[in-house]
A and B are shown apart, each in its own frame.
Chain A
Amino acid sequence: MFAGYDFDVIERSLGYLFREGMVFTLTLTALAMTGGIIFGTLLAMMRLSSLRWLSTVAGGYVNLMRSLPLVLVIFWFFFLVPYIGGWLIGASRPIAVGAFWSAVITFTMFEAAYYCEIMRAGIQSIPRGQVWSGYALGLNYWQTMGQIVLPQAFRNMLPVLLTQTIILFQDTSLVYVISATDFLGAAAKVANRDYRLVEMYTFVAVVYFIVSYSLSLLVKRLQDRIAIIR
């Protein structure tokens, strides 16, 4: 079945694929996860706020992001970020933003909407009495949130947050549409240069599968370990 295929091309390009491509993918995943969880948690707090306008704004943002295809959002930010950057520093022309930073901003903003929904469920799963006792002890909103509610919400939602991160890891491959050199982009470049599409794309699929599947097994084990017995 594989006669006439040149699996040597994979070995020849391993260094490029992992040092350039996988490093890009993993860095992007890590930065977008960190930024996404922080921004997403803030959005969740806004959505649950008693200030009507604040929850409307946050809800609108989350629903907008969740209604659009990621590819379209990637295009949006790829063109929008240079304009906003230029506007922020008062330049007369759009500034140059590389594919990497454009991708980091895109995925942070996009994934925040999904992390927000997870954190919102996490916060809502905390009994109200926890908040009341926080206030009764004289803590203010930020102290109650930061020291009582959010730590528990994070713990409860950790498996779901990590599962979302595995999805983020897979979704970063869509930066292909802005010609960034992530793991898939690097493989695509080699594939097109040597005309070895079958070998390269099969290899890419295998690597993504191994990484995602092992991570999902780890999440499953973690889930069993941290489950709170009620």
Chain B
Amino acid sequence: MQYHWHWKVLLEAEPGGTGTYLQYLIVGLGWTLATALAAWVIALAIGAIVGTVRTTPARWLVRLGNLYVEVFRNIPLIVQMFLWFFVVPELLPEAMGDWIKQMPPPWGSYVPAVMCLAIFTSVRVAEQVRAGINSLPRGQRMAGIATGLTEAQAYRHVILPQAFRIILPPLTSEFMNVIKNSSVALTIGLLELTGRARAMQEFSFRVFEAFTAATVIYLLTNLVVVLAMRALEKKVRVPGLIAAGGAPQAGH
């Protein structure tokens, strides 16, 4: 049994008339990155706030933070995707729901996908931020307070700057996760890289060429991210600390 490879298919025109299949896939990579980056920025902001809040002495804030984390950690990503795409517009006031539903493609899928990935990732960022803050010696906070800083100032000037530098390596892998996870957006109709590879397979019947091309593009993307982050990690590493590897963790 043999499979007849036909790599030239990548240079053939795709039926949409936008260019070759290769260009079609590269545009898909563009959507993957656009989705992942937008989600990542929001996730960092929310995750930093939720993670920090969970280390404060305010009991009800901690509870609220825990609730947020548990809810979005225990529902599968694809189900959350469906919630943002199918359910949220129905629960909003009618005018707003209709406005969302009538957004022209691809924005009608892009916006829910970004929101979904942002919230999903923010939970994991929050866990890292909390772990980073808790890994600092208690003395850091105490010394901050003793020098006359308020609690908020101690966080702003002493605790968070160190915590963020410590958790950079695990955040790198979270960033790679959000790139990979953005492929789930194909289920709500966003034509990102995996979605386009799937579409190419359906149009051209070249199954393995399409998926191999997507695989290679993902691997190259990973390589670029890893190299860039390694350079960044070297720059911001806290002198005197053993490089933070962290405990083994379950992951996607």
A92 touches B1 (CB 8 A): yes
Tell me the bound Cα distance from A70 to B183 in angstroms.
Answer: 8
Is B95 in the interface zone, CB < 8 Å from A? no
B215 touches A72 (CB 8 A): yes
Cβ contact of A91, chosen from B1, B73, B83, B249, cutoff 8 A: B1
Q: How far is the CB of A56 from chain B (nearest CB, A)?
A: 17
Binary CB contact string for chain A from 39 to 70 against chain B (1 if under 8 A, 0 otherwise): 00000000000000000000000001001111
B87 touches A160 (CB 8 A): no
B91 touches A1 (CB 8 A): yes
A201 touches B87 (CB 8 A): yes
Binary CB contact string for chain B from 69 to 91 against chain A (1 if under 8 A, 0 otherwise): 01101111111101100110011
A70 touches B252 (CB 8 A): yes
- B: which residues have CB within 8 A of A? 1, 3, 70-71, 73-80, 82-83, 86-87, 90-91, 176, 180-184, 186-187, 194, 197-198, 201, 207-208, 211, 214-215, 218-219, 222, 248-252
Cβ contact of B1, chosen from A93, A118, A197, cutoff 8 A: A93
Is A152 in the interface zone, CB < 8 Å from B? no
B250 touches A118 (CB 8 A): yes
Residue of B nearest to A86 (CB): B1
Assuming the A-B contacts A75-B211, A79-B207, A167-B250, are A173 and B222 also in contact, with contact meaning beta carbons closer than 8 angstroms in the complex? no
Tell me the bound Cα distance from A92 to B90 in angstroms.
Answer: 51
Interface majority SS on A: helix, strand, loop or mixed?
helix
Residue of A nearest to B207 (CB): A79
Residues in B with CB closer than 8 Å to A164 are: 250-251
Q: How far is the CB of B33 from chain A (nearest CB, A)?
A: 13
Assuming the A-B contacts A163-B250, A174-B184, are A202 and B218 also in contact, with contact meaning beta carbons closer than 8 angstroms in the complex? no
Cβ contact of A177, chosen from B71, B73, B74, B187, cutoff 8 A: B187
- A: which residues have CB within 8 A of B? 1, 64, 67-72, 75-76, 79-80, 83, 86-87, 90-94, 114, 117-118, 121-122, 157, 160-161, 163-164, 166-167, 170-171, 173-174, 176-177, 184, 188, 197-198, 201-202, 204-205, 208-209, 212-213, 216
B214 touches A205 (CB 8 A): no
Tell me the bound Cα distance from A132 to B218 in angstroms.
Answer: 42
Q: How far is the CB of A142 from chain B (nearest CB, A)?
A: 24
Assuming the A-B contacts A75-B211, A201-B87, are A173 and B76 also in contact, with contact meaning beta carbons closer than 8 angstroms in the complex? yes
B184 touches A71 (CB 8 A): yes
Residue of B nearest to A169 (CB): B76
Tell me the bound Cα distance from A205 to B211 in angstroms.
Answer: 31
